[in-house]
């Protein structure tokens, strides 16, 4: 347990949280997560997790509901936005055949910030907090570029995809 806490503090110190003063994605661009195939996999995976109150996974589970929405990038990539303490934050959801990853963006030092966007960096105990503001359409473009080009810190939740369930051999037998 001690090693997990030390590892968690180390990983969190590398993150650069992006907080938007207004939502980067318009509600009309978002879909109900539960209405997507990926979203069904998300709910299936998190339903098998114990509540673990106070843990990151327990908090994650509590942040999903039937009315949770996300921007659909493709069948294996969603971007959720939620308001927390007065600012909007992004969570990237990705999947492969055995895990769903819940990710936060790390500080992207190489991104070109358009003149219309204001990014204020603030040093926090756990890393750099980037406060982002600007016109709606420019925020959307900037957020999409962040999602596409930034590194991510993720944790995975195991699940069996429909592709995996159709397989009769276990995954490690594929690499003989």
Q: Is residue 3, in this structure, part of any structural domain at all?
A: no
Range of the domain at 139: 16-163
Q: Is residue 7, in this structure, part of any structural domain at all?
A: no
Contact 31, 75 (CB under 8 A): no
Least confident interval from 77-81, 91-95, 142-146, 171-175: 171-175
Residue showing tokens 């009315």: 67
Q: Is the dihedral of CA 39, 40, 45, 51 positive or negative?
A: positive
> With the CA atoms of 56, 62, 67 and 68 taken in that order, what torsion angle do they form, in degrees rounded to the nearest 10?
0
What confidence tier does 96 reach under pLDDT thresholds 50, 70, 90? confident
pTM here?
0.78
Residue showing tokens 């069996």: 160
Q: Is the dihedral of CA 57, 59, 60, 64 positive or negative?
A: positive
* For range 10-29, the mean pLDDT: 78
Q: Is residue 5, in this structure, part of any structural domain at all?
A: no
What is the pLDDT of the chain when averaged over all its residues?
A: 81
Query: Which residue in 22, 134, 25 sits closest to 69, CA to CA?
Result: 25
Q: Is residue 146, in this structure, part of any structural domain at all?
A: yes
For residue 167, pLDDT beyond 60? no
As a whole number of angstroms, the distance between CA 2 and CA 76 comes to 34
Q: Is residue 168, in this structure, part of any structural domain at all?
A: no
For residue 16, pLDDT beyond 80? no
Report the Cα 132 to chain-centroid distance in Å.
17
For residue 131, pLDDT beyond 50? yes
Cα angle 120-124-127, degrees, rounded to a multiple of 5 = 90
Query: Which residue in 61, 59, 62, 71 sits closest to 32, CA to CA?
Result: 71
What is the number of domains present in the chain? Answer: 1
């Amino acid at each position: 347990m001690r090693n997990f806490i030390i590892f968690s503090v180390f990983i969190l110190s590398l993150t650069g949280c992006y907080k938007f003063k207004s939502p980067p994605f318009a509600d009309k661009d978002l879909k109900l997560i539960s209405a997507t195939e990926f979203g069904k996999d998300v709910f299936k995976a998190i339903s098998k997790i114990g509540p673990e109150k106070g843990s990151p996974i327990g908090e994650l589970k509590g942040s999903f509901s039937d009315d949770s929405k996300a921007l659909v990038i493709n069948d294996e990539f969603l971007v959720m936005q939620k308001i927390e303490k007065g600012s909007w934050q992004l969570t990237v959801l990705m999947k492969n055949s055995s895990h769903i990853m819940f990710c936060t963006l790390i500080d992207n030092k190489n991104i070109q910030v358009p003149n219309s966007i204001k990014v204020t960096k603030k040093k926090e105990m756990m890393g750099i907090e980037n406060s982002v503001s600007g016109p709606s359409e420019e925020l959307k473009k900037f957020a999409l570029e962040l999602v596409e080009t930034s590194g991510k810190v993720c944790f995975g939740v195991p699940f069996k995809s429909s592709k995996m369930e159709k397989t009769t051999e276990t995954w490690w037998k594929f690499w003989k």
